[in-house]
Each structure stands twice: as C-alpha cells, then as structure tokens.
Structure 1
Amino acid sequence: MLLQQIATSIAATAGGEAGHEELAPLWAEPWVFGAVIFAILVALMFVTLSYTNLGRRHEAVDEHADPHRQHPNKHDHGQGH
C-alpha cells in the first residue's frame, strides 16, 4: 500500500515539467548570508572568550561546613563539626 502511494507520487511528479522548479527569491546575495553568519559567530566567540578570566579572578577558597544548611556537604568526613 505504502509502496503504491510512493510510486504514484513519483509518477505524478515525473510527468510534465519534471525537474523544473522555480527557486524562492533571496533578499540578498548568497555571500551576504555567509558573511552575516560568520560575523555573528565571531561576535559570539569574543563573548565566550571574554568569560575565560572569571576563573582566575580570585584564589580558590575552601567552603566552610555549615551544619544548618538544608543539604550539608557530606564529603568533609566530619571535619566541619
């Protein structure tokens, strides 16, 4: 049944003007789309690179064990008491 529908649709598209479809008009030249996408990606790359110094702003500080936290850190092996 499905193969018959596929064969019918292929036969319907093959008859008459097969392979002659008019393309949708573009509002700019094709190279403009590539240039705009490239510029957007370069801008996003610079935004990403601007956040690389966040890990180097301050020295790492050990977190103190707070027994009143809702989900206390169970990995301090009793050193926070």
Structure 2
Amino acid sequence: MLLQQIAMTVAEGGEHEPAPLWAEPWVFGVVMFALLLVLMFITWSYSNLGNRHTITEEHADPHRQHPNKHDHGQGH
C-alpha cells in the first residue's frame, strides 16, 4: 500500500508540500546540541571511576566456578 502511494506520487511529479514544523528549524539544532552536551558531561563524570581505588592483583582461586584462565598456570 505504501509503495503504491510512493509510486503514484513519483508518477504525478513528486510535488508536495513539506510537513509543517512546530518550531523554527534552528530550534531543533540547538535542542539536539544541548542534549548531546548533557550526555557528554554525564559520560565525562564517570571518567575517574577507575582511579578511586588502588590496583590490586587478583589471586588465582582454583575453587572458583569460572576460574580466570588468563593466569598462564601461575595459580597452581
């Protein structure tokens, strides 16, 4: 059905009015920029989570359900 409407519009010359906007076009750009800026600051606020604690070595526990297989046999 939609393809038929598109085909008929193209066959008629494709002249139609664009849909009316509820705000000026620049408003959409400003709102989108502000939204992305807020999301960027939220992301940036989590950038120091890795620096809160000192780094400690993970001990190899052979009794774990899913042991770390990247210790190259050092925990045995």
From 27, 31, 38, the equivalent of 1:32 is: 27
Percent pairwise identity: 68
SS in 2 for 1:74: coil
1:19–1:78 distance in 2 versus 1, CA, 3 Å = closer
Distance 1:72 1:35 in 2: 50
What is the number of residues matched between the two proteins? 69
- Per-residue CA deviations over 1:20-59 (Å, capped at 9, x if unaligned) read 3111011111011001100000000001100110111112
Gaps of 5+ in 1: 1-8
State the distance in 1 between where 2:25 and 2:14 align. 22
Extract unaligned runs of 5+ from structure 2.
1-6
More helix by share: 1
* Aligned pairs (5 A) from 1:35-50: 35-50=30-45
TM-score under structure 1 length normalisation: 0.70
Q: CA deviation at 1:78?
A: 3.4
Instruction: Give the 4+ runs in structure 1 shifted more than 2 A.
Output: 74-81
Using structure 2 for the length normalisation, give the TM-score. Answer: 0.74
Helix, strand or coil at the partner of 2:70: helix
Q: Which protein has the larger Cα radius of gyration, Structure 1 or Structure 2?
A: 1
- Alpha-carbon distance between aligned partners in 1 of 2:16 and 2:25, rounded to the nearest angstrom: 19
